[in-house]
Amino acid sequence: QGSNKENRRQSSNDKRRSRRMARDGDRRVRSRSAPARYYSKNKTDQSVSTRRASNRELPEEFFCPLTKRIMKDPVVDNDGHTYEREAIERWLRAQSSSPVTNEYLSLDMLKPNKKLKSKIYKATGKPRSRSQNSRGRSNSPGSKNSNKQKNSNRQLVDSYLHEISLNSKLSVSLDFMGICAFSYRKITFVIEVPLEQKSGFFVYSSFDGDPGTFNLSEKVDAWNNWLSNIGKQSRVSFVKAGKRTVFTLNGNERDISRREIFQKTLEYFCEMSLKL
């Protein structure tokens, strides 16, 4: 019994000692954490203010007019205006005009601005681009399957264009960006097949003049009703771009299921453009 009492007393003393040590440790941590937090906050604020100051010191040409951020992959148009590639491609999917001059602009009119890109890299340090990240992940089986699915529409349309070229005087094929241009009866047509799934295809033509003088809205409504009546899912639209009017065929994915359907849809749009 005496030994049991002594053991219980010893264990209670050990518990009190451990609680006391824990309290003392908490006090020491709290006493150190306050200035540490203050220092880390000041350090973060200083780094943010330094970054902002350094951005203000950079030339204005380093910044994209659309995103207002430093460009990583700049491309330049024929007028000499430079944009971030991803931003201007997203802009041109919705409209066919320059965001700066409002003149007609298409994806095939953009070129890499290598000189400006090297200037940006020298001033800011070369960042890891998205293309490098995707290159590192491209070996996985899932990424290969997704790339095949995304490129399926382009491969399909390109095969159709190849067959059309064999049976006509036209020579058309998609480039690496999924775009091709051809001239028919003195009118330039541009075909674009986006990389995104279920986005179909687009065909563009343009002409000088105001859409109001041609009653274009009424014609577009009539043509869309006609396309719907003959079972076509594609639709036509127009947009004013500076002094020119851009006439667009928004091709539905169902209309590229077979070459005959795609070719007929393309011929209908060419006939509409000739009438305009």
The whole-number pLDDT of residue 34 equals 46
The whole-number pLDDT of residue 112 equals 92
Closest alpha carbon to 112 in 143, 147, 63, 77: 77
CB contact at 8 A, 181 and 108: yes
166-190 burial code (b ≥16 CB/10 A, e <16): eeeeeebebeeebbbebeeeeeebb
pLDDT band at 195; cut points 50, 70, 90: confident
The whole-number pLDDT of residue 83 equals 93
CB contact at 8 A, 170 and 180: no
Please write the tens of the pLDDT for every residue from 196-222.
767 789 999 888 777 777 788 888 999
Among 15-19, 34-38, 161-165, 256-260, whose mean pLDDT is lowest?
A: 34-38
Q: Is the pLDDT of residue 173 over 90?
A: no
pLDDT band at 147; cut points 50, 70, 90: low
Indicate the SS3 state at residue 177: coil
More confident residue, 35 or 216: 216
Q: Is the pLDDT of residue 8 over 70?
A: no
Q: Is the pLDDT of residue 142 over 60?
A: no
Closest alpha carbon to 252 in 153, 146, 181, 152: 153
Q: Is the pLDDT of residue 31 over 80?
A: no
Q: Is the pLDDT of residue 74 over 90?
A: yes
pTM for the whole thing? Answer: 0.49
pLDDT band at 28; cut points 50, 70, 90: low
Question: What are the residues whose beta carbons fall under 8 Å from the beta carbon of 189, sequence distance 6 or more?
Answer: 181, 182, 183, 203, 204, 205, 269, 270, 273
Please write the tens of the pLDDT for every residue from 125-137.
755 444 444 444 4
pLDDT band at 75; cut points 50, 70, 90: very high
Q: What residue has token string 């179909």?
A: 200
Q: Is the pLDDT of residue 140 over 60?
A: no
For range 152-163, the mean pLDDT = 85
C-alpha atoms less than 13 angstroms from C-alpha of 58 in its C-beta half-sphere = 23
Q: Is the pLDDT of residue 253 over 50?
A: yes
pLDDT band at 94; cut points 50, 70, 90: low
Tokens of 232: 């076509």
DSSP H helices in the chain:
2-57, 85-94, 114-124, 130-137, 141-166, 216-229, 259-275
